[in-house]
Amino acid sequence: MRILIVEDDLASRTFMEKFLSKYGECDIAVDGLEAIELFLQALDEETYYDLICLDIMMPKLDGMKTLKAIRNIEKDKGIYESEKVKVIMTTALNDKKTVTQSYSSGCEAYAWKPIETEKFIEVMEKLGLIAEK
């Protein structure tokens, strides 16, 4: 599995990479612009990401705008719904408006920080990214 971790906070980024590296190859982006660049590069090289863990509050381009851009790129390139990258928003924001906006923007799941690894694993299983125990 190929994973893109998009996180501006060093501690959160390090934690996510250490945790998720057990499940696949991890790339790191520190903001939304870098994430879009890596996403486009993966499409060009046909080394698609299976999962993007996307923080919401980031400099340059926040997670919501990044998610919308990724979904627009997939639409423009004619990527089938079943082949779209799975996106899990990872954030400290847990208000109803932000959660609702994330899902309407195209994420598959939402994880609050601090990340609870057992729950995160369950979400990855439900999304079909890893085999259930």
Query: What does R_g of the chain's alpha carbons equal in angstroms?
Result: 14
Residue 133 pLDDT grade (very low, low, confident, very high; cuts 50, 70, 90): low
Q: What is the pLDDT of residues 77-94, one digit of tens each?
A: 999 988 999 999 998 877
Going by their DSSP bridges, the two strands 109-112 and 51-55 should be labelled as unpaired
Q: Model's pTM, two decimal places?
A: 0.95
Neighbour-count burial of 127, counting CB atoms closer than 10 A to its CB (0-12 exposed, 13-18 middle, 19+ buried): middle
User: Which domains are seen in the chain, by residue range?
Assistant: 2-126 (3.40.50.2300)
Q: What is the pLDDT of residues 32-41, one digit of tens each?
A: 999 999 999 9
Residue 65 has pLDDT above 90, yes or no: yes
Residue 124 has pLDDT above 70, yes or no: yes
